[in-house]
Structure 1
Amino acid sequence: MKKRYFIIPIITIAICLFMGYLAGISVKADNFSWYNSLNRSPLNPPNIIFPIAWSILYLLMGISIAIIINKYIDEQDLEIKKNIKNYIFLFIIQFILNLFWTYIFFGLKSPLFGFIEIIILDILIIITIMKFKTISKAASYILIPYILWCLFASYLTLHVLIFN
């Protein structure tokens, strides 16, 4: 088995976890006080659940993109290789949007723009899952918990938007 099959996942998981960590710490503590003062959904989980859930999701994202990157490296057909490259770019775009949501919602204290942004994110995640499935079913299925959590986060964001 090729060494990169182990090295690439380590790198992609580390990048996803580190970038998620940076997004989380970029928001000041008083912004979380603001969040705690909002009228939130009765389905809103305790605050401690969010970093745990996101850590697991960033781990899964790192595994998923590692599978796709390895498929890209292994692929000989130039047309398929081009498609995979586009799918990697799509993953990067949705990942950046994911990171920006924290700043938009908490940093700017903007449920409206947070909701708009997360709807765009949801759409891009769904497209990413569909595109990844054409290359690797495993890479696409690994992202299902991510889209489910983001759809739940969309609901939570909408609730904050409507009731505050």
Structure 2
Amino acid sequence: MMRYGRLVLFVIAVLGAGFAIGYLNRPDAWYAALGKPAFNPPNWVFAPVWSIVYLLIAVAGWRVREQGSSSGWRLWLAQMALNFAWSPIFFGLHQPGVALAVIVALLLAIVAFQIAIWKADRISAILFAPYAVWVAFASLLNFEIVRLN
């Protein structure tokens, strides 16, 4: 029972941090004025998608932490740091070029996490698959925003 209590707390912490980052770094007039590709989704799509993704990230992180995988845990922490850095750089500092470098590093960290834990915890690796797809899409959006502006 205690184990699942830790899961709930971990999920709340990850979702809470994600919501805080999103709330503090919302799209503004600068973002609205940027040229965007035709496939850019409406702003309202991002919150529900990220909520689901953060839930998956949290469960995978909790699983790796509970299993005591130090290399998996370090990669999980690295991808979270990159994840949390992207929004302030893009929306707060208005630096889409720097944000592009961060999101590409994030995508690499996500894939490295999946590869590193595949044998020990396939469930966590699979939980990261939608995250990898979403960040790949977000990377393409970021690239196109840099290219168009």
Same fold (TM over 0.5): yes
Counterpart residue number, 1:75: none
Which of 42, 47, 59 pairs up with 2:43? 47
Which of 5, 8, 11 pairs up with 1:7? 5
Counterpart residue number, 2:142: 157
- Identity, in percent, stands at 26
Counterpart residue number, 1:77: none
Residue pairs, 1:69-148, within 5 angstroms: 69-72=65-68, 84-148=69-133
- Structure 1, unmatched stretches of 5+, are 73-83
Q: After TM superposition, which residue ranges in structure 1, 4 or more long, deviate above 3 angstroms?
A: none
What CA distance in whole angstroms lies between the structure 1 residues aligned with 2:41 and 2:32? Answer: 12
Counterpart residue number, 1:35: 31
**Two-structure CA RMSD over aligned residues (Å):** 1.2
- Could you tell me whether the CA contact under 8 Å between 1:94 and 1:121 is conserved in 2? yes
Compute the displacement of 1:4 (Å): 3.4
Compute the displacement of 1:87 (Å): 1.4
Q: TM-score, normalised by structure 1?
A: 0.86
Whichever of the two has the greater Rg, that structure is: 1
What CA distance in whole angstroms lies between the structure 2 residues aligned with 1:130 and 1:5? Answer: 26
- Could you tell me whether the CA contact under 8 Å between 1:104 and 1:110 is conserved in 2? yes
C-alpha offsets along residues 55-87 of structure 1, whole Å, 9 cap, x if unaligned?
Answer: 111001111111112222xxxxxxxxxxx1121
- Could you tell me whether the CA contact under 8 Å between 1:68 and 1:135 is conserved in 2? no
What CA distance in whole angstroms lies between the structure 1 residues aligned with 2:18 and 2:47? Answer: 9
Match status 1:25 vs 2:23: yes
- Structure 2, unmatched stretches of 5+, are none
Equivalent pairs, count: 149
What CA distance in whole angstroms lies between the structure 1 residues aligned with 2:21 and 2:47? Answer: 11
- Name the CA shift for 1:160/1:25 in 2 (closer, same or farther; >3 Å): same
